[in-house]
């Protein structure tokens, strides 16, 4: 679970709101409500997912995210790197309480290299309780509590240096 790409995600410091000084471009990426995978697909030929970890963990192993989820003995944990044309753009960590994994949500356990968003944005009714922006050194990230048919999960995302979120100038040059 201590993959180097995850270390900065674990170090994210969360903020109540996006700072006023953040450019509209970065704000737009950070607060995106739609599928991040879909947005990334507009910026490359192929989005791919590398699974770093998928499996059950205990309450004690979940860490501070547990404060945003019901207290249960088991959580499904998924940690991935998402790449655009094989360049790592984002790391994602999803914590799913065992009680969320019933009915159609059981599919969350079978994702493998299928991006989470492909499921979230097509399956059961999805709602979002909040998006909290976060910083880790020079990098930006965010944490969202989502609900599928009312059942919660917590998704944390960190935008890696090569991510289009940091490629503001390309918007103007049309590259």
List of residues contacting ligand PHB (CB under 6 A): 36-37, 49, 78, 80, 82, 90, 92, 94, 115-117, 157
- In the complex, least distance from residue 162 CB atom to ligand PHB, rounded to whole angstroms: 15
Strand order in the sheet with 126-136: 13-14, 126-136, 139-148, 151-159, 87-97, 74-84, 47-58
Judge whether 153 and 95 are in contact, CB under 8 Å: yes
Closest to ligand PHB by CB, 84 or 115: 115
- In the complex, least distance from residue 21 CB atom to ligand PHB, rounded to whole angstroms: 24
How many residues in the chain? 175
Judge whether 156 and 65 are in contact, CB under 8 Å: yes
- In the complex, least distance from residue 92 CB atom to ligand PHB, rounded to whole angstroms: 3
Closest to ligand PHB by CB, 71 or 119: 119
Which two three-digit tokens encode residue 44?
A: 């490359």
Closest to ligand PHB by CB, 39 or 135: 39
């Amino acid at each position: 679970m201590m993959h180097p790409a995850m270390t900065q995600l674990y170090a994210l410091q969360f903020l109540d709101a996006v700072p006023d000084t953040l450019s509209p471009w970065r704000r737009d990426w950070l607060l995106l409500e739609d599928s991040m995978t879909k947005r990334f697909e507009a910026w490359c030929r192929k989005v791919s997912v590398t699974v770093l970890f998928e499996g059950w963990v205990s309450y004690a192993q979940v860490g501070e995210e547990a404060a945003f989820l019901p207290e249960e003995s088991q959580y499904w944990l998924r940690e991935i790197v998402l790449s655009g044309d094989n360049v790592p753009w984002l790391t994602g960590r999803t914590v799913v309480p065992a009680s969320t994994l019933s009915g159609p949500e059981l599919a969350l356990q079978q994702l493998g290299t299928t991006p989470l968003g492909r499921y979230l944005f097509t399956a059961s009714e999805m709602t979002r309780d909040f998006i909290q922006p976060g910083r880790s050194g020079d990098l930006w990230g965010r944490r969202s509590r989502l609900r599928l048919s009312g059942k919660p999960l917590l998704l944390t995302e960190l935008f890696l240096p090569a991510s289009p979120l940091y490629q503001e100038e390309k918007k103007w040059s049309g590259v």
